[in-house]
Every structure is written in structure tokens, then in C-alpha cells.
């Protein structure tokens, strides 16, 4: 049974239809890389999965919870679906540690002491031990993004959505973030990444989704698809990158 099930999802902004009937099944433990040109609808699709965007028709279910049907409380859903953003979106008035502790204490009502211990171990996990008291403004982009990953892990999500999480980083900082994601993948975390890091998609991904004009144009095993694209569009896209 699939963990994330997307069926014939359509979404328009006015007359502009950006998702034209997208269907996708993602199993527990999958590392799914969604690639495609800008404007192909990949970020919109990702944002539909945790209800940041609404859609007009079709259905999305995460772990059996339907998204956007008005019955499932979005807050319940979001406790199981973490998200990391391109622009990090750390809260600048809180330290790295407080950023991580916020949702566990406010939403999950955990004790301060437990939340603090977890925040410290998560910071260690992303290679930032000792940065608990640093404010986001005192950290590099790569460090901020790693704190943001730790922050979403603090809610123990079933699936983690990553929306172009390395696109706003200086090239030399990309790898430190990808290493953390790779580690999560190796631990069995279900990941859905919208990414422009083709090598990462090929080497770490277990599933590749190529979106084109608001549709899933091609999907399958990353290594096979990169070696032998099934459609001229993917061939051109992959060729244009290398």
C-alpha cells in the first residue's frame, strides 16, 4: 500500500491550469525526486501534499488521511508531513535550538526539558552540535537549512517534503545539506524532493518523477531513466543539464 497516494489532481490559478491530472503513488521509504522545468508544476504538487495549496479536483491521501476534503484536519495531517523550504524560513527571533523546540512544545505539548534534549540530539544529527544558542542570522545558509531540516524532524514526520532546499545556497554549501538528506534516506525516511540536483536524484533517489506541462511525463527508477530516457522531453531536459 502506498504511503502517499495522488490521484488525478488538477489545480488552476484562474485560467492557468498548472496541474492537469497528476497521479502518483509513493511507498514508505521511497526517496522520490521530482524534476522538471520551472513552471512544470512540481513545487505546486509538493505544496498540495501538506495542504499549503488547495486543488480543484482529484484526491491526495497521506497514510490514509485525505488532504483537502474538508474532513481531515490539516493540522493533524501536518503533524505527519514535514516540509523544508528553499528559503529556510527559520524564525529569526528564536535561536537554532528554540526554532527546533517550538512546534514540539507549542503543538505537541512536550515538556521543555524533553524538547530541549531532542533539539540538541537533532542538531548533532545534522552536524551542528554547539549551535543551540546561535540565532539564524549568525549561521551560514547551509547551516540554516540544516537547522530547518532538524526543525521539521522534531515533529517526527512520516514523510518529509523538500522544496528545492539547495537552490538558495552557495554552491560550496550544497553538499553539506545533501549529506544530511542522504543520511535520512539511508535511515529509511520517506522523502519527496523537488530538486535540480540531478546527480543527487540519480544516486540517492529510489524513484524519479519527471514533470512536464503540469503532468507526470515519466516516472521510474532514477538510474535507468537517466541512462535511457523514455521520452524526448526527458532526454532533452537531462541533456540540457549535463
Partner 1 sequence: MLYQMNFGDLLPYWQVLARGLLFTVVLTLVSTVAGIFVGTAGAWARTFGPKWAGTCVSIYVELIRNTPFIVQLFFIFFGLPAIGVKMGEAEAAFLAMTINLGAYSTEIIRAGIQAVPYGHLEAGSSLAMSRWEIFRHIVLKQAFMKVYPALSSQIVIVMLGSAVVSQISAEDLTYAANYIQSRNFRAFEVYLVVTGIYLALAIALRALLRGIARAVFPKG
**Site residues (vs partner 1, CB under 8 A):** 50-52, 74-76, 78-79, 81-83, 85, 87, 89-95, 102-103, 106-107, 135, 137-138, 148, 151-152, 155
Q: Greatest CA separation found in the chain?
A: 55
Least Cβ distance, residue 91 to partner 1 (angstroms): 5
Q: Grid cell 515533529 — which residue?
A: 155
DSSP three-state, residue 156: coil
In whole angstroms, what is the distance from residue 105 CA to residue 86 CA? 25
* Nearest residue (CB) to partner 1, 6 versus 101: 101
* Nearest residue (CB) to partner 1, 83 versus 225: 83
Least Cβ distance, residue 88 to partner 1 (angstroms): 8
Residue 186, all three cell numbers: 539511508
* Nearest residue (CB) to partner 1, 59 versus 135: 135
Least Cβ distance, residue 200 to partner 1 (angstroms): 22
* Nearest residue (CB) to partner 1, 7 versus 79: 79
Please name which of 84, 58, 36 lies closest in space to residue 208, comparing C-alpha atoms. Answer: 36
Residue 150, all three cell numbers: 532538524
What proportions of the chain, in percent to the nearest 5, are helix, strand and coil? 40, 25, 35
* Nearest residue (CB) to partner 1, 81 versus 208: 81
Least Cβ distance, residue 227 to partner 1 (angstroms): 35
Please name which of 19, 170, 148 lies closest in space to residue 90, comparing C-alpha atoms. Answer: 148
* Nearest residue (CB) to partner 1, 194 versus 225: 194
Least Cβ distance, residue 144 to partner 1 (angstroms): 12
In whole angstroms, what is the distance from residue 172 CA to residue 89 CA? 20
Rounded to the nearest 5°, which phi and psi values hold at 186?
-70, -25
Residues 59, 23 contacting (CB under 8 angstroms): no
Least Cβ distance, residue 50 to partner 1 (angstroms): 6
Amino acid at each position: 500500500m502506498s504511503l502517499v497516494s495522488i490521484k488525478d489532481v488538477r489545480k488552476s490559478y484562474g485560467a492557468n491550469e498548472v496541474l492537469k491530472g497528476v497521479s502518483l503513488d509513493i511507498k514508505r521509504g521511497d526517496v522520490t525526486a521530482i524534476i522538471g522545468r520551472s513552471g512544470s508544476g512540481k513545487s505546486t504538487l509538493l505544496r498540495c501534499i501538506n495542504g499549503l495549496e488547495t486543488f480543484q479536483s482529484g484526491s491526495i491521501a497521506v497514510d490514509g488521511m485525505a488532504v483537502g476534503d474538508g474532513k481531515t484536519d490539516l493540522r493533524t495531517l501536518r503533524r505527519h508531513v514535514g516540509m523544508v523550504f528553499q528559503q529556510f524560513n527559520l524564525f529569526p527571533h528564536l535561536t537554532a535550538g528554540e526554532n527546533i523546540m517550538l512546534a514540539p512544545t507549542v503543538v505537541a505539548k512536550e515538556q521543555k526539558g524533553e524538547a530541549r534534549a531532542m533539539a540538541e540530539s537533532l542538531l548533532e544529527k545534522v552536524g551542528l552540535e554547539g549551535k543551540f544558542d546561535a540565532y539564524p542570522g549568525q549561521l551560514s545558509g547551509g547551516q540554516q537549512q540544516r537547522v530547518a531540516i532538524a526543525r521539521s524532524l522534531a515533529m517526527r514526520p512520516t514523510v518529509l517534503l523538500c522544496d528545492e532546499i539547495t537552490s538558495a545556497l552557495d554552491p560550496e554549501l550544497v553538499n553539506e545539506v545533501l549529506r544530511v538528506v542522504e543520511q535520512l534516506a539511508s535511515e529509511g525516511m520517506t522523502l519527496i524532493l523537488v530538486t535540480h540536483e540531478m546527480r543527487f536524484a540519480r544516486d540517492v533517489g529510489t524513484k524519479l518523477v519527471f514533470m512536464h506541462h503540469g503532468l507526470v511525463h515519466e516516472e521510474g527508477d532514477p538510474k535507468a531513466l537517466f541512462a535511457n530516457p523514455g521520452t524526448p522531453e526527458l532526454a532533452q531536459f537531462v541533456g540540457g543539464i549535463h
